[in-house]
Structures are given as structure tokens and as C-alpha cells.
Chain A
């Protein structure tokens, strides 16, 4: 029972480089989310998806793009990384029918130098 799996767990990027963070869930959840967590800021929603093929902006979407080509996967892309994107990124998913809780991945610690 893997739940929500994020890859990679750690990454160091140089300013201007690009990368994609992968989130995979095996619970057949319709909703998926990408958050970033910075010290003293709590979790802030970057983008979310309410179903395969759909995405929407959250609270802090600038500098990020997302795709949900398959129901179980939600990708977060950084086209040109900036030091301000140094953060811990969490993916989460929740069910449309049983929306009591969101299940989170273990996080990806990204450092942009």
C-alpha cells in the first residue's frame, strides 16, 4: 500500500535549470495537489487537479507548470529554476467521494543555487 509517492526525494539545481517532480498515487483519487512548504509559511497550494486532463492554479502558481495526463500521476515542472523556489514540495491526493482527508507524500527537498 504505497499511497502517495514522490520522486525524487532530494535535488539540487542550478539557477535556470529545469526539472520535473513526479507524484504517483495508487488510491484512484480524483483530486491531486502540489504544495510548497517554507519555514514559517505553512503549506501553500501551487496547483491542483480535479481529474485526469484538468489542472488549475492555486495560491502560488508562478514559475511552475503541471500536467495530469494519467489519473494516478501529477507532474510539477520548473522551467527555469530560481533560488526563490528552494523549498520542500509536497504532493497530496484526496477522493471526490470520501473527502475526509488528504494523503500526502514524503516530500521533495529542492535547493536552487
Chain B
């Protein structure tokens, strides 16, 4: 299982861009990088997934360098409603589901007015 390391917490002011970096030095060839968001008292929610380079959707962007040993989740112009815990997952969920993918402790993002 690929181990991930991400900051325990981050603070940001409203309107700023937030970048959360995840380190995954032992990522395997078939592994994808997936980010989830969890609000208090709710289950995690999928944000974005990528394999290499850059992926963008309506919520966030995911930047993955060529060596794939790290990735950066970018949230543009955060608002108070983006206050949540963000999890970086690395694994080959495509070949067999999420049973071999580990949720770490995540990064607690606090957006400040």
C-alpha cells in the first residue's frame, strides 16, 4: 500500500487559493491519486482523481509531477464552506475497489473570514 503524507492542518483566508500537497514516494505504476473532502458529521465526498499531469474539474485542480511522488490539490478562491478535512488517497482502485486504498488522517482546512 502506498503511504501518503499530508499536512495535518492549514488555515486560509476567504478568497485565497489553497494548495494542499500530498507526498507518496512509493506510488506504484497502476496507482491513481484521489482526493476526498469530508465535512463535519458527513461521509467523505469524492473531489478529483488523476494519474499524471494536471486534472481540472468544477471544484478543484490536481497537479501531478512527472515522477508522481507527490501531488497538489488546488482549491481556487476558497469560501467558508470549504472548511473541511481533505484526504489524499493513492491506490489502484480501478482493479479491485477501495479495499486496498487507505484513508489517512487528512488535512484539516480552516477558512477564515
* Chain A contacts to B: CB under 8 angstroms: 4, 30-31, 33, 35, 40-45, 48, 50, 56, 58-59, 90, 92, 94, 96, 99-107
Residues of chain B touching chain A, judged by Cβ–Cβ distance below 8 Å, are: 34, 41-46, 49, 87, 93-94, 96-99, 102-106
Partner of A92, one of B43, B94, B104: B43
- Give which listed residue, B45, B93, B106, contacts A104 with CB less than 8 A: B45
Given contacts A104-B43, A105-B43, contact A31 B104 (CB under 8 A): no
Neighbour of A101 across the interface among B41, B46, B103, B105, CB < 8 A: B46
> Could you say which residues of chain B place their CB within 8 Å of the CB of A43?
44, 87, 103
Q: Would B49 and A45 count as touching, CB distance under 8 A?
A: no
26 A-B pairs, CB-CB below 8 angstroms?
A: A31-B99, A33-B97, A33-B98, A41-B105, A42-B105, A42-B106, A43-B87, A43-B103, A44-B103, A45-B99, A48-B99, A50-B97, A56-B99, A59-B102, A90-B43, A94-B97, A96-B97, A99-B94, A100-B49, A102-B46, A104-B45, A105-B43, A106-B41, A106-B42, A106-B43, A107-B42
Q: Report the bound CA distance from A43 to B98 in whole Å.
A: 12
Pick the 3 closest A-B CB pairs, nearest first: A104-B43, A101-B46, A43-B103
Q: Is the interface of B mostly helix, strand, loop or mixed?
A: loop
CB closest chain-B residue, reference A32: B97
Complex contact A94–B98 (CB within 8 A): yes
Contact B43 A107 (CB under 8 A): yes
Chain A residues lying within 8 Å of B102, measured Cβ to Cβ, are 42, 59
User: B39 CB to closest chain A CB, in angstroms?
Assistant: 11
Bound form: Cα–Cα A41–B104 in Å: 7
Residues from chain A with a CB closer than 8 A to the CB of B105 are 40-42
